[in-house]
């Protein structure tokens, strides 16, 4: 009851209002409920519910834009790698704990900040986010 009657910061409404189109009847307020006919109640509910959903959608979209702006302010989008650089790609699909953490090296074909197009041998080029890459440093002992 506490969750369903608390105003959500994103929508500006309670979950109960968005679900049922009206405020929740609290046990202490039941005696204050007005006596209306079924048709009047339904029309009132329908109008109020549509208003709640429209307003919640508008408020949610405004909050999404604000959250995105806040997150984008924290991100520094600059190209860390150049075309033809060799990079290692993080292996997000490890099936065993002893699988390689980093795959590659792969050559960068194109930069679309923050994404990079990688040349994967025997496969089609892969477009991946820059946070999945790290520079490849080779030594004389390592095979190229």
Question: Is the confidence at residue 106, as pLDDT, over 90?
Answer: yes
Average pLDDT over every residue of 110-124: 91
Cβ–Cβ under 8 Å, residues 112 and 127: yes
Both tokens assigned to 69: 């702006």
17-72 pLDDT, tens digit per residue, is: 888 887 887 766 655 556 778 888 788 888 888 888 899 999 999 999 998 888 77
The percent helix, strand, coil of the chain (3-state, each to 5) is 35, 20, 45
Strand pairing of 133-135 and 126-129? Answer: unpaired
The mean per-residue pLDDT over the stretch 126-140 comes to 87
pLDDT at residue 140, as a whole number: 67
For 57-93, the pLDDT digits (tens) are 999 999 999 988 887 777 665 667 899 999 999 999 9
Phi, psi of 93, deg, nearest 5: -115, 45
Report whether pLDDT(115) > 80: yes
Q: Which residues contact 55 (CB under 8 A, 6 or more apart)?
A: 12, 13
pLDDT computed for residue 60 by the predictor: 93
Contact 11, 18 (CB under 8 A): yes
The count of other CB atoms within 10 Å of the CB of residue 133 is: 21
Distances in Å between the alpha carbon of 49 and those of 33, 45, 131?
A: 18, 6, 43
CA distances 119 to 23, 104, 112, Å, are 57, 10, 14
Output the pLDDT for position 26.
Answer: 74
């Amino acid at each position: 009851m506490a969750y369903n009657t608390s105003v959500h910061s994103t929508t500006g409404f309670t979950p109960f209002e968005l679900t049922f189109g009206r405020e929740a009847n609290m046990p202490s307020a039941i005696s204050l409920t007005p006596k209306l006919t079924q048709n009047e109640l339904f029309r009132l509910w329908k109008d109020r519910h549509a208003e709640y959903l429209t307003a919640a959608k508008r408020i949610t979209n405004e909050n999404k834009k604000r959250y995105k702006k806040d997150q984008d302010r924290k991100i520094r989008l600059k190209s860390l790698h150049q075309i033809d650089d060799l990079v290692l790609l993080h292996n997000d699909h490890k099936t065993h704990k002893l699988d390689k953490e980093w795959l590659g090296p792969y050559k960068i074909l194109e930069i679309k900040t923050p994404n990079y197009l990688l040349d994967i041998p025997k496969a089609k080029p892969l477009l991946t986010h820059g946070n999945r890459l790290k520079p490849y440093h080779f030594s004389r002992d390592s095979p190229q």
